[in-house]
Structure 1
Amino acid sequence: MNTATLETRAAAAAHEIDAVERIDPQDFYRDYVRANRALLTHGMMCDWPAMKKWSFDFFSQLSLDKQVYLEQDNVMQGDAKYSVRSYAESLRAIIDDDCAGGEKPGYLSVFKIFREFPELEQDVDFSLLSQRQVKSTAAGWIGPAGTVTGYHIDWGDNLLAQVVGRKQVHLVAPCDSKHMYPTNRFDQGTTSSAIDAEKWDEARHPLYRQATVHKIVLHPGDMLFIPRGWWHQVKSLDKSISVSSIGYNVRGLFVDLLSHRVLQWLHDAGLYNAPCTCHIVHNGKRVRRSVAN
């Protein structure tokens, strides 16, 4: 095992995150999942068919006769702004984007990729995590350079696999949660922070300076394990295609996930009206945007 010393903003309290080419599933579970430690791998995806097949042209040729909701800007810390376009138009806009100004294409985020294209599930392998979990959910992330998913924690263990392009990830361990300003903003399966790492306002959020922030750049073929409870903000440095899998153990399934589903039901029914990232006003009605994605 080699250890990659990753850039941290809190240099005086710098930590290290392990980086390996490959890892045995038993070692991974013992040393990282159970220990709640992040891990960067460089070689676990080298045999994935996705690494040879997936591209923006490949996805643009897949047939999906459906409109999708696209994120505009950082919905975790900003307003929940979405646009609605056909799947084909969305992919074409990303392919044609040259970063030369004008309206930026939207971000096809939390895309139910294997529900819409079940044949693609054989192109990836998340068994490193999923074989020890009782439930897992996958999502695709397809978008232009500059997209941001703001600071949040997931209620399950997350494997983020980078297929095309590069992404920068800010990571903060759970021990620094007291410096992260959690909010009551509702987003299914997550807790969001008031902090935007791109636009940090020290006057409003001074404690963030005390957090140890790891900055990791993911390249194609890199996979990052983000344990349950770790804060992370993700920015696309290039046009990017990623896929993630969030896994839940027994406790996570029956305590966290089910209780959150009850809260989601109350929220959808309008009985829990916290600000959220999951609803928009469409044709004069409040609708849950995940219906399309």
Structure 2
Amino acid sequence: MGTFQNIEKKESISYQDFIEQHLKKRIPLVFKNATGAWKSNTMFTPEFFKENFGSYQTSHGDRTYTMSEIIDLTAKSTAENPAPYPILFEIPEQIPELLKLLEPLHMNYAQPNWFRSGVIPYGKFGNNIHLFIGGKGNQYSLHKDFYHTNAWITQLYGQKKFILFPDGQDEYLYAGKEGMSRYLSPVNVVSPDLQKYPLYKNASPLEVVLQPGETIFVPNGIWHTTVASEQNISLIFDQLNGQNYPAWKKDLFEIKLQESKIKAALHYAFALSAGALCKAKALTGAKF
């Protein structure tokens, strides 16, 4: 396996430089201080979430947990006995009050974002804003995000390691050939089974440890996973704009094609109309 290379961290970068050097070229970046744009300077500690949202509930598997229960579970999580993961909240639907503390959500970089246009329903086709809570020993599966959305992840509390694989490595990661399997890899990057997945030795990963207050930009179509060494809380949302719209539109068709040609055609028609509406709104000077 190739040597892990570090993902660049920047104290500051202009919006235009970010667009030219990272968004258009699909190169990951960690913003050290982008959250300074938020109007609130709240300290997003476990105690803050227990005090303000302790009774709020969400489901994982066949169980329902309160925020307080999740905080306690992840605090006790170990590598040998990890807490259930991922336990997440849909922020606009389950903790809408939190959004007021995260304005502007785009941090003056994740824009335009057609998911904020009102054209694409929340919870559909990659339009999500999540709060992830995890603990030591939690590891996410190696994957590419459905619909080729750009992912923006901010560490609100604790630290988390991110491991990314740039383009051209599907073969080394044993991605599936059709349907949803194209977005999933069976390889465990922490302890890869090279007898079962020998080509993984040719992979060239990038890695970075995201600290509290830092934000990582994961470009669309990039393989990635996370590994937690301690209790942590993350804010995650996706971005769609003219740069990744063609791939999003294609994904919308191909994913639904696994169900039926009619569904695929209907979703492709929706993608065309949604794209046209978002482009029209942009021409009027709308900000989203």
- Please say whether Structure 1 and Structure 2 have the same fold, judged by a TM-score greater than 0.5: yes
Equivalent position SS for 1:30: helix
Which one of the candidate residues 99, 105, 112 is aligned to 1:132?
A: 112
- Of stretches 21-30 and 178-187 in structure 1, the one that deviates more from structure 2 is 178-187
Which one of the candidate residues 224, 235, 242 is aligned to 2:216?
A: 224
C-alpha spacing 1:225/1:200, structure 2 compared with 1 (3 Å): same
Q: Which residue of 2 aligns with 1:251?
A: 246
Q: Which residue of 2 aligns with 1:284?
A: none
Q: Percent identity?
A: 21
1:61-100 to 2 correspondences below 5 Å: 61=51, 62=53, 64=55, 66-69=57-60, 82=61, 84-88=63-67, 90-94=69-73, 97=76, 99=78
CA displacement 1:25-83 (0-9 Å, x = unmatched): 222122111111111121112353676332212222315554511xxxxxxxxxxxx45
CA contact (8 A) 2:143 2:225 kept: yes
Q: Distance in 2 between matches of 1:114 and 1:185?
A: 32
Q: What TM-score, normalized by structure 2, do the two folds share?
A: 0.73
Cα distance, 1:215 vs. partner?
Answer: 2.0
Which amino acid is the alignment partner of residue 29 of structure 1?
Answer: I
The answer on 1:113 being equivalent to 2:105 is no
C-alpha spacing 1:230/1:95, structure 2 compared with 1 (3 Å): closer
The answer on 1:122 being equivalent to 2:100 is yes
Q: Distance in 1 between matches of 2:253 and 2:45?
A: 36
CA contact (8 A) 2:79 2:136 kept: no
Which amino acid is the alignment partner of residue 58 of structure 1?
Answer: F
C-alpha spacing 1:96/1:233, structure 2 compared with 1 (3 Å): closer
Cα distance, 1:259 vs. partner?
Answer: 4.6
Equivalent position SS for 2:141: strand
C-alpha spacing 1:121/1:235, structure 2 compared with 1 (3 Å): same
Cα distance, 1:121 vs. partner?
Answer: 1.4
C-alpha spacing 1:114/1:176, structure 2 compared with 1 (3 Å): same
State the superposition RMSD in angstroms. Answer: 3.0
Gaps of 5+ in 2: 116-126, 261-288
Which amino acid is the alignment partner of residue 177 of structure 1?
Answer: D
CA displacement 1:147-179 (0-9 Å, x = unmatched): 111211112111111110110111110122221
Q: What TM-score, normalized by structure 1, do the two folds share?
A: 0.71
CA contact (8 A) 1:134 1:253 kept: no
Q: Which residue of 2 aligns with 1:143?
A: 134
Which one of the candidate residues 27, 38, 42 is aligned to 2:32?
A: 42
Cα distance, 1:21 vs. partner?
Answer: 0.9
Which amino acid is the alignment partner of residue 198 of structure 1?
Answer: V
Q: Distance in 2 between matches of 1:236 and 1:50?
A: 26
